[in-house]
Amino acid sequence: MDNFNLKKYLAENKLLKENIEVYKEEAKRFFETFVDEMNEKGEIEFIPDLDGYIDLKDNSYNVDELGSIFLNPTEETLNSFGNIAKTFKGEGGIYYAVI
């Protein structure tokens, strides 16, 4: 096995999931950007509680249960969203904003 990188292999095969707690500030920034864009378009009127909370069960950053941003969700979680409003690529991986 020449130059086999287990971490890279796992990441590429979505078996490695980063903990959103490590990337809370990034998740919060992306979620606030998403909310601002939606408010500007007049699609939603949503004022997030800037404290938010982290749900490690589904690797999400949630705001008053009105909206969430998920970091590298599992395929099962991704399929349960129905309508993904926006995606962001960040240091932690791919974030999916849903409301």
Position 72 in a domain: yes
Which of 71, 96, 66 is CA-nearest to residue 81?
A: 96
Query: Is residue 12 a part of any domain in this protein?
Result: no
Residue ranges making up the domain that contains 44: 20-98
Q: Does residue 6 lie within any of the structural domains?
A: no
Coil, strand or helix at 79: helix
Per-residue pLDDT reduced to its tens digit, 11-23: 555 444 568 889 9
Q: How many CB atoms lie within 10 A of CB 11?
A: 15
Residue 42 lies in a domain: yes
How many CB atoms lie under 10 A from the CB of residue 88? 19
Residue 9 forms part of a structural domain: no
**What average pLDDT does the structure give for the chain?**
78
User: Does residue 10 form part of some domain?
Assistant: no
- Residues 68, 77: Cα–Cα separation, whole Å: 12
The least confident of 17-21, 59-63, 88-92 is 17-21
Number of domains in the chain: 1
pLDDT interval class at 7 (50, 70, 90): low
Assigned domain for 14 exists = no
Beta bridge partners of 86: 97
35 is a domain residue: yes
